[in-house]
Structure 1
Amino acid sequence: MAEPLNPGDDAAPGTPGTGEDICRRCGGSGRIDGGECPNCGGSGKVVEGIGGG
């Protein structure tokens, strides 16, 4: 079953042309103001498009 996307994800994990990056909103900690980061879902990572073209 596919993992649910977080608001900060550009695509599902494993999608060609994407890669994991540190969540810019929480700086990779997964926490903001003592709670789970809403951008990355608490993982500290987001899936972003890479490369150019």
Structure 2
Amino acid sequence: MQYPNSSIKAQTNPGDDAPPGTPGTGEDICRVCRGTGKLENGSDCPNCGGTGKVVEGIGGG
């Protein structure tokens, strides 16, 4: 996603439902690494890109 009038691109990871800042979404703790950003073997979590956070849809109804 490219923001209007900006060269900033929103980075997404495989565990993200949508790019950061998308209406109706929010940050949550990555379920794969439990928010640590690392796997048991010490490598970066591929689901969250090593951040420990994912963007998920919120609300509903």
> With structure 1 as the length reference, what TM-score do the two structures score?
0.95
Percent identical across equivalent pairs?
A: 72
Aligned residues: 53
Unaligned runs of 5+ in 1: none
Structure 1 residue ranges, 4+ long, deviating more than 2 angstroms after superposition: none
Query: Which is strand-richer, 1 or 2?
Result: 1
Q: Which runs of 5+ in 2 are unaligned?
A: 1-7
Query: Based on CA coordinates, which of the two structures has the bigger radius of gyration?
Result: 2
Q: Which has the higher contact order (CA 8 A, sep 6+)?
A: 1
> Structure 2 length normalisation: TM-score?
0.83
